């Protein structure tokens, strides 16, 4: 009777149909994993794989290749299932090898070693050939990873070798050629930017360079402002005036440190005034010394308006090196110009405050004061 009532469709057949419906996979475009493929989600790598019938390859979710038609895509829970299709591994994302990110990191690390260990600076073509990549792709990945082009990285490495040679007592000529410069002329063209002074002066630890300084007091503690003939070379914050002077001596070990006169104390008063009332801004000539990458970061920091904060990742994006977040944090830590180069306005992506060279409490106090004064804060911090 029951079977007849349903046109021959009995209970056993209903159970079978129900089971078949449960085992039928969703269309790929409706599967949540497809959205992760479209987003090239690196966190999905290793969780599943996919293959594309029209190209005959299988990939990891973060594959940078052109997006496939989901009608031609099959999803796989394991790498073994992806291989069982008989398709080949994608050459762009190497799904059965290290992740693309790890592979690129290893490629850049190898290139850095080649630059550091080479007698002469390798060309972009030579570095790309060694990595098995096109020059354009290699250049983009290198800059995104290190924050510098290969050429800039090589220049920074040579500058560091020159500094080390001069500090170790080598003659200027020996330090120049040992660092890989083919001629002294090429080095001298850029020596002031690299060292902040002539190589002879640097070798003497800044000997004969006059650094004027004065110490002041703010509601956040002691402040020391020091200047060379180019501009303000350091702004240091702390609790102990003697400790700040020792810090300055360490930064300029053989320079002549000269206590500021009344006119110079007026400069210190301007900096103190900014600490107490940030809304008025601070416009000072700066003597900024650092690597090419550090200088790019510091320029970006000076573009952060009073009362605003950005993340390290945002700064990395702004300078065109989105993967160099850690290097950005390192440049912030190396900043010698408290408040003038406002590294206190750079925070973690989750909004938390990370380390600050002059103390976490001072950072919070500075940010609170700047937030309170945003209504009249039209000026930006100083530029070199």
CA dihedral 305, 307, 312, 314 (to 10 degrees): -60
In the Cβ-directed half-sphere of 365, how many Cα atoms lie within 13 Å? 14
Per DSSP bridges, beta strands 210-218 and 221-227 are antiparallel
- Spatial distance between the Cα atoms of 185 and 177, rounded to a whole number of angstroms: 11
Specify whether 63 is catalytic. Answer: no
Contacts of 361 (CB under 8 A, 6+ apart): none
Q: Could you give the CA distance from residue 58 to residue 124 in angstroms, rounded to a whole number?
A: 31
Q: Say if residue 312 is exposed, middle or buried (CB neighbours under 10 Å; 0-12, 13-18, 19+).
A: buried
Exposed e or buried b for every residue in 200-212, given b needs 16+ CB within 10 A?
Answer: ebbbbebeebebb
Residue in the structure block whose two tokens are 């009608």: 71
Reading the block at residue 343, the tokens are: 């590294």
Catalytic residue among 63, 90, 93, 343: 343
Measured between alpha carbons, how far is 357 from 237 in angstroms, rounded to an integer? 9
149: left (phi over 0), alpha (psi -120 to 50) or beta: beta
- In this structure, what token pair is assigned to residue 253? 């070990």
Considering the candidates 59, 63, 90, 112, report the single residue annotated as catalytic.
59
CA 194 to chain centre: 20
Q: In whole angstroms, what is the distance from residue 354 CA to residue 282 CA?
A: 24
> CB of 255 within 8 A of CB of 210?
yes
| Cα–Cα dist 121/99, whole Å | 29
Please list the residues that pair with 3 across neighbouring strands.
Answer: none
Cα distance between residue 108 and residue 163, in whole Å:
24
Active site residue 343: yes
Q: Are 261 and 267 in contact (CB under 8 A)?
A: no
Which residues are identified as catalytic? Answer: 59, 343
């Amino acid at each position: 009777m029951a079977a007849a009532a349903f046109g021959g469709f009995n209970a056993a057949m209903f159970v079978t149909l129900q089971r078949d419906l449960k085992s039928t996979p969703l269309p790929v475009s409706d599967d949540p994993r497809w959205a992760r493929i479209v987003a090239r989600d690196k966190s999905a790598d290793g969780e599943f794989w996919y293959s594309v019938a029209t190209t005959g390859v299988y990939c990891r979710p973060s594959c940078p290749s052109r997006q496939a038609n989901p009608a031609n895509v099959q999803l796989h829970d394991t790498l073994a299932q992806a291989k069982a299709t008989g398709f080949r591994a994608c050459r762009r994302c190497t799904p059965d090898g290290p992740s693309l990110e790890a592979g690129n990191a290893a490629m850049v690390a190898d290139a850095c070693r080649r630059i550091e260990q080479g007698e002469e600076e390798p060309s972009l073509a030579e570095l790309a050939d060694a990595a098995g990549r096109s020059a354009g792709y290699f250049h983009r990945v290198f800059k995104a990873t290190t924050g510098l082009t290969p050429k800039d990285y090589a220049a920074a490495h040579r500058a560091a070798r020159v500094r080390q040679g001069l500090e170790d007592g080598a003659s200027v000529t020996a330090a120049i050629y040992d660092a890989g410069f083919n001629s002294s002329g090429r080095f001298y063209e850029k020596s002031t930017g690299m060292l902040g002074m002539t190589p002879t002066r640097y070798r003497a630890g800044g000997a004969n360079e006059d650094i004027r300084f004065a110490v002041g007091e703010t509601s956040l503690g002691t402040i020391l402002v020091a200047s060379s003939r180019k501009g303000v070379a350091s702004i240091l914050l702390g609790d102990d005036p003697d400790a700040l002077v020792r810090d300055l001596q360490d930064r300029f070990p053989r320079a002549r440190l000269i206590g500021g006169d009344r006119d110079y104390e007026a400069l210190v008063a301007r900096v103190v005034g900014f600490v107490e009332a940030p809304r008025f801004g601070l416009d000072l000539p700066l003597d900024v010394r650092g690597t090419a990458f550090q200088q790019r970061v510091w320029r970006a920091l000076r573009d952060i308006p009073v009362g605003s904060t950005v993340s390290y990742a945002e700064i990395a994006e702004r300078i065109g090196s989105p993967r160099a977040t850690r290097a950005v944090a390192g440049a912030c830590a190396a900043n010698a110009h408290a408040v003038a180069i406002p590294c206190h306005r750079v925070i973690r992506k989750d909004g938390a405050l990370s380390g600050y060279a002059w103390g976490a409490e001072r950072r919070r106090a500075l940010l609170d004061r700047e937030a309170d004064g945003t209504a009249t804060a039209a000026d930006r911090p100083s530029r070199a």
